[in-house]
Amino acid sequence: MIYTFLQAQSVNSTSNYLPIGIQLIFAAILLSLMIYGTSVLGPKRNTADKLENFEGGIEIQGNARKPIAVKYFLVAILFVLFDVEVIFFYPYAVNFRELGWQGFGAICMFIAFFLAGFIYIIKKGGLDWEGES
């Protein structure tokens, strides 16, 4: 009993984390040197062309702050929401044999909630671009 306790203490001692600490310190120093080195050694040529706004090679025309339809943001948020929900299918696909019928019931319930939300969004016109907001 005492032997296993002492053995567990030696396995979980602080000295085991020393290499990780040294590596983190080394990485921080290297990162700091690289950032400082590029700012000191890099060229600094601030010409009028470099200080001008650049938007993908297209000449600037008018104000960029034009209102965007709310439908665009709604579709983007719905995409992220449903995309994240689909990610939850992966653990079931990997472990479907071990989960058995209880896992199958849980994934069926998940799909039912998923489809209920999708049908609700369609009925509310969330994906209808032609209709009114």
- Share the mean pLDDT of the chain: 80
For range 14-34, the mean pLDDT: 92
Rounded (10°) CA dihedral 122, 123, 126, 131: 110
Query: Sign of torsion, CA 76 82 87 93?
Result: negative
Domain boundaries, the chain: 2-124
- Tell me, rounded to whole angstroms, the distance of Cα 21 from its chain centroid: 27
Give mean pLDDT, residues 9-13.
Answer: 66
pTM: 0.42
pLDDT digits (tens, 9 = 90+) for 49-67: 777 776 666 666 777 677 7
Q: How far apart are CA 42 and CA 57, in angstroms?
A: 25
> Is domain 2-124 annotated with CATH 1.20.58?
yes
Give yes or no for residue 129 having a pLDDT over 50.
Answer: yes
Pick from 116, 118, 115, 88: nearest CA to 103? 88
Confidence (pLDDT) at 35: 93
Residue 77: partners with Cβ closer than 8 Å, 6 or more residues away: none
Give the SS3 label for residue 127: coil
Distance (Å, whole) CA 116 – CA 123: 10
